C-alpha cells in the first residue's frame, strides 16, 4: 500500500511515494522551508527567534513550522511572537489580536503585543500609514530582539514568493536596477525569511493539511492598492500562461541577486581604491564602468544623508566628469571638485553647545537648545508597560536607571562619541550618516551620557548596557518635545 502527497488542486504529485508506516512525506512548504533555512544557516547558533505574526495564513504557517522544527531537531532556541494591532479595521483588528493570543497559547510560545493608532502615528511622522506602520513593526521586532539578547536572536518574517514577485513588478514599473529586481532577500542582517521561496498556494495547502485556522485581512481582498492589483490580476494571469513561473522566478531572482552583490562589492572596492586625501580620485571614478560608478555614487549619497535617486546620481556624475564644479546633494551637503579630487563638503548649521545635568528622581525639565525641551523622570515597571499601548515612542526612550554609571548628563554630540547599536559599536557620526539625519538636526539631538560614555540618543534608542529587562526596577524615561 502506498500513499501520495498531492497539491491542493489534486492535479500533480508533489512529494515522494512512500510505503505506509515509513516516515511522513513533507509537504512542498516544509521542503522549501527546510531547504531555505539550511542553505542560509538561518537558525545557526540562534537562542531566540522573534516571529512577526499577524494571524494571516503566511505568518500562522511560519510560526507552526518553526515550532515543529525546533521541537523535532531539539534546537536550543526559544520563540517569542510579536503582534502589532494597528487599530485600522475596528473589530476586525481586535479579532486578529485575539486569534494570535489563542494561537500562541495553544503552541505554548511567548507573545508580545503592541497596540498603536497607526493613522495618528503616520500623521505625526509625515508618512503614509503603510510605510510608517512597517517602520513601527520592525522597530518593535528589533526592540524585542534587544530585550532577549540581540547577538543570538533572529527575527523571522513570513514574506513569501508571491510577495517577492509582487515587489519585483512594483519595482520594475518604477525603473529600478538589479537591487530592486532581486526581489525580497532570504536574509537581511538578523532578519530571516524562511518561506520566501514558497508560494501562497504552498502556504494554503500546508494550513489545510495541518488543519490550521487563520484570519484574513479584508483590505487584502480589494484592488484599492497597487500591490493588490498585481496580486489578484497580474500574477494569476502569468501563472496561467507560464506554469513554471515560480521556479523560473526563483532562478532569475537568485542570478540577479548574485550580480547585484558582485557589483556592490566592485563599487565598494572602487571607493576604497580611489580614496585620496579628503576625497576621491576623479579620474579613477570617471574610468569605472557605469554600473559600478552608479553604485559608488549611491553609496556616497546614502552615507551623507542625501536621496538615493537617479536624478541625484546623474547630477553628481557631472562633477565627476568635470562638467560642473559643484552640486548640492541635499541641504548643506555639496559634492565639489577640488583639483583632481571629488570632495564631500558639509555646511552645517552651528548650534551653541548645550549640557544639562537633570535630577531624574525629581522629574526636572528644561529647554535644551533652540529646538528641544526635555524632562527626565523615574517610572516603575507597571507604568513602563502601559507606555507600550499609550505612547510607543516614549516607550523606546526608557533605560534602566540603576545601570547608569553615576550622574546623567544630557548634552550635544561630541567628536568621537560612540554607542553600541545591534551588537556593534559605532561612532554617532557614522550612525547619523546611516540614518540620513539632516545635518542641521545633528547638533541639536540630545545625548544621554554617564561616566562610561553615551548610553542613549534621542530617536536612536539606548545602549544595550542600560537596556530595560525583566529584572529592572527603576526606569528612567527621557521625554523630548519641540514646543512648550
CA distance 113 to 140: 9
CA distance 376 to 176: 45
Q: What is the dihedral of CA 106, 220, 29, 249, to 10 degrees?
A: -160
Is there a domain that residue 6 lies in?
Answer: no
What is the pLDDT, as a whole number, of residue 19? 36
Q: Please say whether the dihedral angle defined by the alpha carbons of residues 382, 388, 390 and 391, taken in this order, is positive or negative.
A: positive
Domain membership of residue 365 (yes or no) is yes
Residue 13 falls inside a structural domain:
no
In a domain, 28, yes or no: yes
**φ, ψ dihedrals at 331, nearest 5°:** -50, 125
- Euclidean distance between CA atoms 306 and 318, whole angstroms: 17
Q: Are residues 82 and 224 in the same domain?
A: yes
Cα-atom radius of gyration of the chain, to the nearest Å?
25
- 164 lies in the same domain as 124: yes
Q: How far apart are CA 208 and CA 202, in angstroms?
A: 10
Place of cell 510505503: 19
Task: Measure the CA–CA gap between 389 and 372, rounded to whole angstroms.
Answer: 24
Listed residues 298, 316, 346: the one ending a domain: 346
DSSP codes joined into one string, 88-150: -STHHHHHHHHHHHHHHHHHT-EEEEEE--HHHHHHHHTS-HHHHHHHHHHHHHHHHHHHH-G
Domain assignment of residue 4, yes or no: no
Q: Which residues contact 257 (CB under 8 A, 6 or more apart)?
A: 182, 183, 185
Strand order in the sheet with 191-192: 110-115, 78-85, 48-52, 153-156, 191-192, 187-188
How far is 257 from 263, CA to CA, in rounded Å? 10
Q: Quick one: pLDDT at residue 396?
A: 81
Q: Residue 142's domain is classified under what CATH number?
A: 3.40.50.620
The per-residue pLDDT for 10 is 31
Do both 438 and 390 map to the same domain?
yes
In sequence order, what are the residues at sequence separation of 6 or more whose Cβ sits closer than 8 angstroms to the Cβ of residue 202?
A: 27, 28, 29, 32, 160, 195
Q: What is the reported pLDDT for 349? A: 60
Per-residue pLDDT 10s for the chain (484 aa) are 222 222 333 333 233 333 333 446 789 999 999 999 999 999 998 999 999 999 999 999 999 999 999 999 988 899 999 999 999 999 999 999 999 999 999 999 999 999 999 999 888 888 888 888 999 999 999 999 988 987 899 999 999 999 999 999 999 998 888 988 998 999 999 999 999 999 999 999 999 999 999 999 887 777 777 888 999 999 999 999 999 999 999 999 999 999 999 999 999 999 999 999 889 999 999 999 999 999 999 999 988 888 888 999 999 999 999 999 999 998 888 999 999 999 998 776 667 899 999 999 999 999 998 889 999 999 988 888 888 777 777 878 999 999 999 999 999 999 899 998 877 888 998 888 888 777 778 888 999 999 999 999 998 889 999 999 889 999 999 999 886 5
Q: How many domains does the chain have?
A: 3
Give a yes or no: residue 11 inside a domain: no
Range of the domain at 290: 260-346
Report the Cα–Cα distance between both ends of the chain, in Å, rounded.
79
- What pLDDT is recorded for position 348? 60
Place of cell 510560526: 63
Neighbours of 45 (CB within 10 A): 10
Spatial distance between the Cα atoms of 466 and 475, rounded to a whole number of angstroms? 10
- Give the SS3 label for residue 431: helix
Closest of 125, 150, 147, 154 to residue 399, by C-alpha: 147
Residue 249 lies in a domain: no
Residues 145 and 280 in one domain: no
Amino acid at each position: 500500500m502506498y500513499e501520495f502527497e498531492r497539491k491542493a488542486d489534486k492535479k500533480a504529485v508533489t512529494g515522494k511515494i512512500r510505503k505506509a508506516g515509513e516516515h511522513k512525506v513533507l509537504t512542498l512548504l516544509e521542503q522549501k522551508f527546510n531547504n531555505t533555512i539550511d542553505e542560509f544557516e538561518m537558525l545557526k547558533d540562534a537562542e531566540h527567534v522573534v516571529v512577526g505574526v499577524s494571524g494571516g495564513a503566511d505568518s500562522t504557517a511560519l510560526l507552526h513550522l518553526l515550532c515543529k522544527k525546533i521541537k523535532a531537531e531539539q534546537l536550543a532556541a526559544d520563540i517569542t511572537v510579536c503582534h502589532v494591532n494597528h487599530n485600522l479595521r475596528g473589530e476586525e483588528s481586535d479579532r486578529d489580536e485575539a486569534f494570535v493570543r489563542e494561537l500562541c497559547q495553544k503552541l505554548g510560545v511567548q507573545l508580545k503585543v503592541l497596540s498603536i493608532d497607526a493613522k495618528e502615528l503616520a500623521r505625526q511622522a509625515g508618512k503614509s500609514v503603510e510605510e510608517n506602520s512597517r517602520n513601527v513593526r520592525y522597530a518593535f521586532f528589533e526592540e524585542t530582539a534587544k530585550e532577549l539578547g540581540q547577538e543570538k536572536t533572529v527575527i523571522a518574517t513570513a514574506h513569501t514568493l508571491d510577495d517577492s514577485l509582487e515587489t519585483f513588478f512594483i519595482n520594475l514599473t518604477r525603473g529600478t536596477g538589479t537591487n530592486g529586481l532581486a526581489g525580497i532577500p532570504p536574509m537581511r542582517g538578523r532578519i530571516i525569511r524562511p518561506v520566501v521561496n514558497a508560494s501562497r498556494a504552498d502556504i494554503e495547502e500546508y494550513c489545510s493539511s495541518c488543519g490550521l485556522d487563520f484570519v484574513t485581512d479584508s483590505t487584502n481582498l480589494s484592488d484599492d492598492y497597487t500591490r493588490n492589483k498585481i496580486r489578484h490580476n497580474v500574477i494569476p494571469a502569468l501563472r496561467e500562461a507560464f506554469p513554471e513561473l515560480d521556479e523560473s522566478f526563483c532562478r532569475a531572482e537568485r542570478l540577479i541577486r548574485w550580480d547585484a552583490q558582485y557589483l556592490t562589492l566592485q563599487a565598494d572596492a572602487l571607493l576604497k581604491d580611489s580614496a585620496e586625501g579628503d576625497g576621491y580620485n576623479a579620474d579613477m571614478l570617471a574610468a569605472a564602468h557605469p554600473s559600478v560608478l552608479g553604485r559608488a555614487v549611491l553609496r556616497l549619497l546614502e552615507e551623507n544623508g542625501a536621496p538615493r535617486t537617479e536624478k541625484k546620481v546623474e547630477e553628481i556624475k557631472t562633477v565627476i566628469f568635470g562638467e560642473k564644479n559643484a552640486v548640492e546633494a541635499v541641504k548643506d551637503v555639496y559634492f565639489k571638485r577640488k583639483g583632481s579630487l571629488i570632495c564631500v563638503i558639509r555646511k552645517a548649521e552651528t548650534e551653541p553647545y548645550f549640557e544639562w545635568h537633570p535630577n531624574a528622581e525629581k522629574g526636572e525639565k528644561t529647554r535644551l537648545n533652540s529646538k528641544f525641551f526635555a524632562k527626565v523622570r523615574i517610572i516603575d515597571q507597571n507604568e513602563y508597560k502601559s507606555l507600550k499601548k499609550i505612547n510607543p515612542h516614549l516607550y523606546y526612550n526608557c533605560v534602566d536607571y540603576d545601570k547608569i554609571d553615576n550622574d546623567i548628563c544630557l548634552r550635544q554630540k561630541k567628536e568621537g562619541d560612540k554607542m553600541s547599536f545591534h551588537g556593534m559599536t559605532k561612532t554617532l557620526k557614522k550612525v547619523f550618516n546611516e540614518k540620513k539625519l539632516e545635518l542641521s538636526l545633528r547638533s541639536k539631538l540630545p545625548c544621554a551620557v554617564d561616566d562610561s560614555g553615551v548610553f542613549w540618543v534621542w530617536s536612536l534608542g539606548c545602549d544595550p548596557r542600560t537596556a530595560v529587562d525583566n529584572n529592572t526596577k527603576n526606569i528612567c524615561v527621557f521625554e523630548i518635545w519641540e514646543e512648550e
